[in-house]
Chains A and B, each alone.
Chain A
Amino acid sequence: MHGRVKVRTTEEERARKEKERQEKLKVYKHAMQKIFHKREEGELDKELLELTGKVLSSNPDIYTLWNIRREILIIFQKNDDNEELSQLYDAELHLTEYCLKINPKSYCAWHQREWVLTTRADPNWEKELALCNTYLKLDERNFHTWDYRRFVVRQFKPSLKDEFDYTTEKLMDNFSNYSAWHYRSKLLVELYPDLEGGRPIEDSHHKHELKMVQSAAFTDPDDTSAWFYQRWVLGAVRTDIDVAVFVVSPLKTTIAFSRPVNQAFVASKTRLFFGNELVNGEWQSLTGPQYDVLWVLKHNAEITEGLDVKMEYDREDENIQIIPTTKYNSNTYIGKGEINFEKKYSKPVVEELNNQLEACRQLLAMEPDNKWTLLTTTVFLHCIDAKQYHKETIENLHTLKSIDNLRAGYYDDLITKWSIEEQLIEDYKKDSLDFKIMFEDKVSSLPHLQYYSHCENVDLSNQNLTSNILPALELLQNCKKLSLENNQLTTLKGFPNLNLEELNLKGNSDLVEEVELFKERCNYSVIF
């Protein structure tokens, strides 16, 4: 067998590799020992930099070593030799770059790089941006790099338009890229705010994004990144904070908002008047968090018969809204705000939405059981005219529940939310202190409950409520009679402190043992 090529067998190769590994391990252990010894001795010098550097270049994720390096660099900062310091920083950047080649998702290497650039006096941001480009070329979905890119852009402030175009370029290569879509959404609101209408994005760009994301969604409906972005684009409309309802009674004064607000907001934007008299007092959140949907006013003003109670609210569009009240029995005055869950799209955007709805309907005719097409159709319907299409959207959600059973709970929640929104419009037209679920679908959650915070008689019987919702009932601050009959409560833990007169817990068989104890604790009648 002369002149034949002889190759190592796999057995020999394995032995060689194992030997190499053992060798590496020995070197590693030795180096680590030496590093910690030096640190204990306080020898924070260049030798230690070199030692840690060597270990890191094969094991970039030992954050302790990065910390030691920062300690050393901070000592060198105190020297006057700027040139030497600059060289040290350069070397540090070089090392992180090397380490990131080994592990592009090394948190500590990225962090070290950020630290160097924010610490040194002469950072070269342009180079950093170029580095991001290189790394994103190698892996366009590395969120570490995207994160770092946003950091660099914040400091360097390059043309945002260029950054925006960069996301377009990356998405054209591969649109399954949450990071690129996300960055795009951040840039859009900065680059193209709608100055006139006060919407987050200017109309033509809003339309363009809708088109672009639709193209992605229909190219690959199984790719969720496009759908998430589409939801963002559809949701990118201004929603003002509104007053839902306020109640002034001898017992308490409460105000509910459409969204959580903080105390400063309530105190500065709302003014309660008895006649022409401004009521002074302190706003407290119902449950204690900084942001809350329901606030209570502690005041000393006397509530009497025949008061003219009204509220002034400084709306976000800078108009002042005057909310009058209606008097109910026993000196209770209630003022309701406007119900406005509809998204306010501009006309061109609505046109685009209608176009897209049409495309969806065509697709749906071809593949009636396609989950994403049906869901998108449904979202479009809801966004275009929730009231007009209410019946169809609910039917669609029922279909979705059966074809996409894994997410049945999600669709249930949507049904509940959109149905409550529908019911609220009717309920707010009536002068009633009753709240009862009026639609067929059973609810398992209680969205928008603060809108019913004025109700005295709340009937939540025959639903699918579990004990998880109990804490949320605290929003029913003015409730006297509450029925949770025939639900799926398993415990009364978390039941809030309410001034009830009657609580109906019938038909929740799991509560048998707890109810007796509960009855002893509360001062209202509990029916079981």
Chain B
Amino acid sequence: MDDDLPTDFQVIVVGTGMVESIVAAACSRIGKNVLHLDSSDHYGGLWASYNFDGLQKFIKEVNSDPKRQLQVYNLAEKWYIEKESAQDEKKEEGEEKPEEAKPEPGKKVWSQANFTAEYRKFNIDMTPKLLFSRGPLVELLISSNIARYAEFRCVTRVLTWLSDKLMPVPCSRADVFATEAVGIVEKRQLMKMLTSIVGYNEEEMNNEFKDWNDKTFKEYLAHKGLTPNLIHYVLYAIAGGTDTMPCLEGVKECKKFLMSLGRYGNTPFLWPMYGSGELPQCFCRLCAVFGGVYCLNRPIDKVQTLTVDEGKEVVTIESKSKTLKCDHLVIGINECPKDLISPEPAESSDISKAVFITNGSIMKSDKEPLTLLRFPPLNDGDHSVTVLEVGPATGSCPKGLFVVYFITNKVKDAESDLMGIAEKIFDMSGGDQTEETDKPKCLWSLFYNVKDTSAPVKSTTGAVHVCSGPDAGLDFDRAVEQAEQIFKKICPGEEFLPRAPDPEEIVFEDDVTHGPEFTRDQDDDDAPKE
């Protein structure tokens, strides 16, 4: 296929995942000549958000292509509602019991056809993640001025599973004040623990924890006299840990959580509007603004590295019978030919994920909630499960529905790893959607496993930089960190994503020779200017 795509670039980036996109933006921002390719017709790769139709396509593609199942497998999609709107049946039922059958206003009866019709209102994430309000990604978005391409919503609450029910976690000062779930002495204990963890400087930290290196965080909390209730909140919900979490890691996680409080909302987290898949696109946009060239739907066939004079390496890429050349190739792990990776990455445990679409929130609330639920391990040896529930206000689904994501480390397979928890917080029985239940009805579900490609990998040559895939963690921090490392290798000594100017700060080239200054007529100068 002939096209007028130039063939020589300083940097070629293959794949539009998070790490790749940040590197592309950073290179383009400081003046590198960047080409950014993706083999599929959309941005994000495994970090993408799909509308309902796109998701169906994705499921179909993966199921029919064994090669893709190396990354994503065990896909199990299930409907819990009728194909077509059951209006006719409804009417019949209605004759039998005219009172109850009437859906109360606002409680719509959904059918599969409704989902298909409203497919554009869904934005379902393959890699749902949150941003810590003072985490590296938020700081980067602000310092680079990329934040203006994105919108966020505050996570409104953090929940946990305690004594067989969902409980809000008092994490901020206002929460601790308002909660009735902990006693007055516990309030003091909790606040004291939280403020001391935030307040420790390095020296105090070393001092306080010098004997805790080989002990667990749980032991530390118990040692500090926290009640079992409080240990639960701090360990599972705030630190996101398990019983075996090492003490120092727990302290670090707590600190990260607490440091992000009070910046934007009542919890430490932000959720990107229209899904996490928006974020790689923001970086791509900056890349394009600074001259990066984009080409989607462009698979690559072959990658070769040549050593030209003075040991300088050039990477050539065959793509659609064209040969592209660059000094540096940045490539997503899933696109990367095996022979470029060295050594072979160690086998890692994979990730179990699930998406549910429900007809209500897992815990009722006055305003539409945006929830992080950290589900502690149900049995010894299990992993904890991260649950994110997002509603229509985030642009994730039509009104009346919620999208809920489950993420955990794989033990057996996604469905067996996660079904037990789903059954605790959802009504998985299908049936009458108008029925008053204390749990929301699950209308649709998708379980799947993802290969964990988040461990950094080295390539065989210094001119090729391999980007990791998404991890099972809550935030994007590792992706940001890795992108910066790759950038520093490509452009040593250059600033990583300096602030992009606002439009009004830009001086246009043609504008350099100024015309005569506009001056006000002195005599006319009697009205004050605002």
Contacts and interface: CB of A to CB of B under 8 A. Distances in A.
A220 B174 contact: no
A58 interface: yes
Interface stretch (B11-19, B43-51, B99-107, B177-185): B177-185
A362 B185 CA distance: 7
A8 B507 contact: yes
A218 B184 contact: yes
Interface in A160-185: 171-175
Nearest to B507: A6
Contact of A218 (B187, B501, B509): B187
A19 to B, nearest CB: 10
A13 B529 CA distance: 21
A121 interface: no
B184 A30 contact: no
B188 A363 contact: yes
- Chain B interface size, as a band, is 20 to 34
Interface in B182-215: 183-185, 187-189, 191-192
Given A3-B291, A359-B184, A219 B528 contact: no
Contacts of A6: 506-509, 512
Given A5-B290, A27-B529, A54-B528, A218 B174 contact: no
Contacts of A5: 290, 501, 506
A3 B291 CA distance: 8
A26 B191 CA distance: 54
B303 to A, nearest CB: 29
Contacts of B505: 7-8, 13
A233 interface: no
B528 A51 contact: yes
Contact of A27 (B173, B187, B525): B525
A4 B28 CA distance: 11
A517 interface: no
A366 interface: yes
A366 B185 CA distance: 10
Given A5-B506, A7-B501, A215 B527 contact: no
Nearest to A2: B509
B98 interface: no
Interface in B505-530: 505-509, 512, 525-530
Given A7-B501, A219-B177, A219-B191, A58 B530 contact: yes
A220 B187 CA distance: 9
A68 to B, nearest CB: 15
Interface in B301-320: none
Contacts of A173: 174
Contacts of A58: 530
Nearest to B176: A219
Contacts of B187: 215, 218-219
A395 B225 CA distance: 28
Contacts of B176: 219
Contacts of B177: 171-172, 175, 215-216, 219-220
Contact of B31 (A4, A171, A356, A366): A4
B373 to A, nearest CB: 22
Nearest to A355: B184
B426 to A, nearest CB: 30
Contact of B184 (A2, A28, A214): A214
A493 B512 CA distance: 79
A214 B177 CA distance: 9
Contacts of A359: 183-185
Interface in A213-256: 214-216, 218-221
Contacts of A26: 525
Nearest to B500: A5
A11 to B, nearest CB: 13
A142 B317 CA distance: 63
Interface string A1-38: 01111111000010000000001101110110010000
B502 to A, nearest CB: 9
Given A4-B31, A5-B290, A366-B225, A220 B191 contact: yes
Contact of A174 (B174, B184, B188, B501): B174
A351 B444 CA distance: 54
A55 interface: yes
A225 B290 CA distance: 52
Interface string A476-516: 00000000000000000000000000000000000000000
Which of B185, B501, B507 counts the most chain A CB atoms within 10 A?
A: B185
Given A172-B178, A219-B177, A34 B509 contact: no
Contacts of B174: 172-175
A55 B528 CA distance: 7
A462 interface: no
A7 B185 contact: no
A229 B187 CA distance: 19
Contacts of B509: 2, 6
Contacts of B178: 172, 215
Contacts of A8: 505, 507
Contact of B527 (A54, A218, A356, A363): A54
A100 to B, nearest CB: 16
A66 B276 CA distance: 52
A220 B528 contact: no
Interface in B477-509: 501, 505-509
A436 to B, nearest CB: 43
A444 interface: no
A152 B188 CA distance: 38
A219 B185 contact: no
A215 B175 CA distance: 11
Interface string A134-157: 000000000000000000000000
Nearest to B186: A218
A372 B434 CA distance: 53
A466 interface: no
A34 B173 contact: no
Which of B191, B290, B501, B528 counts the most chain A CB atoms within 10 A?
A: B528
A491 to B, nearest CB: 48
A26 B528 CA distance: 9
Interface string B269-296: 0000000000000000000001100000
B190 to A, nearest CB: 9
B172 to A, nearest CB: 10
Nearest to B528: A31
A57 interface: yes
A7 B507 contact: yes
A233 to B, nearest CB: 15
24 contacts: A2-B509, A4-B31, A7-B506, A23-B529, A27-B525, A30-B525, A30-B526, A31-B527, A31-B528, A34-B526, A54-B527, A55-B528, A57-B530, A172-B174, A214-B184, A215-B184, A218-B188, A218-B191, A219-B173, A219-B191, A220-B173, A221-B188, A363-B185, A366-B225
Given A218-B187, A359-B183, A367-B192, 6 more contacts: A30-B525, A31-B526, A57-B530, A175-B174, A175-B177, A218-B184
Which 8 pairs from chain A and chain B are nearest by CB?
A31-B528, A7-B501, A218-B188, A219-B177, A54-B528, A27-B528, A219-B176, A6-B507
